[in-house]
Amino acid sequence: MRQIILDTETTGLNPRTGDRVIEIGCVEMLNRQLTGNNLHFYINPERDSDEGALAVHGLTTEFLSDKPKFAAIADEFRDYVRGAEIIIHNAPFDVGFLDAEFKLLGLAPFKEHVDNIVDSLQMAKEQHPGRRNSLDALCDRYGISNAHRTLHGGLLDAALLAEVYLAMTRGQNSLTMDLADGDNNEDGSPMLELAPLADVIVVAASDDELDLHETVLNTLDKEVKGTCVWRKVPEEAPPA
């Protein structure tokens, strides 16, 4: 099964009032294995971000001014997600924005290009009712480090969500019935055997990706006339 974990960043909260997508991050999994075949775009929204949204993602109008417009990346994006199961945390928000962008280009809604859309937030609410189920809260719950996440970012959040999703659904692959050896329980029922969990593949950034990352950080440093928050190491919590 091909699954794409997807996250977007936007200029604000409402596409109906003209807010636009400014970043898309996608992480690919095949049969629950991370492939490293990820997709990432910064997008020029042709408008400023709301102050509240800017505080969340830190992507300034000047930084985005030379990035491609959505129309320029739409075909590559659609080709990448076509036919896959899409996993999004709070899917109605991201899908609403993607639908608005597709509508501007005369394209069918996002769901028409993919096999299925899974809302991991809804899954988390069903598994952990009455508890906080934000991405940060789920990272804490499943022991996934997000210490490097000081601002939201499409690709970073998608990568974190991939780990969270695997942790949330690990029980689906935890048991299998192996009848090859004919082993049965004392009552004659087939014996359930634990299946090994798939190893998590860690894909290191290439030299070109590291250089591009450094270029983005240098640009943000100039924007804030100092050191951007992405370079700051979070302080360790004092011992309890």
For the domain that residue 116 is a member of, what is the CATH number? 3.30.420.10
- Asked if residue 237 belongs to a domain, the reply is no
Q: Rounded to whole angstroms, how far apart are CA atoms 193 and 40?
A: 40
pTM (two decimals) = 0.70
Residue 77 in domain: yes
Does 209 fall in a domain?
no
Evaluate whether residue 107 is within a structural domain.
yes
**Residue 191 placed within a domain:** yes
Residue 223 resides in a domain = no
94 falls within a domain: yes
Q: Domain residues for 111?
A: 2-203
Q: Residue 97: inside a domain, yes or no?
A: yes
Among 57, 128, 152, 213, the active-site one is 152
Number of domains in the chain: 1
Per-residue three-class SS string for 176-235: EECCCCCCECCCCCECEEECCCCCCCCCCCCHHHHHHHHHHHHHHHHHHCCCCHHHCCCC
Identity (one letter) of the amino acid at 98?
L
Q: Which is it for strands 2-10 and 85-88: parallel, antiparallel or unpaired?
A: parallel
Q: What is the pLDDT along the chain (240 residues), one digit of tens a residue?
A: 999 999 999 999 999 999 999 999 999 999 999 999 999 999 999 999 999 999 989 999 999 999 999 999 999 999 999 999 999 999 999 999 999 999 999 999 999 999 999 999 999 999 999 999 999 999 999 998 877 655 567 888 999 999 999 999 986 543 333 334 445 555 554 444 434 444 555 677 888 888 888 888 888 888 777 887 777 766 665 665
Specify whether 148 is catalytic.
no
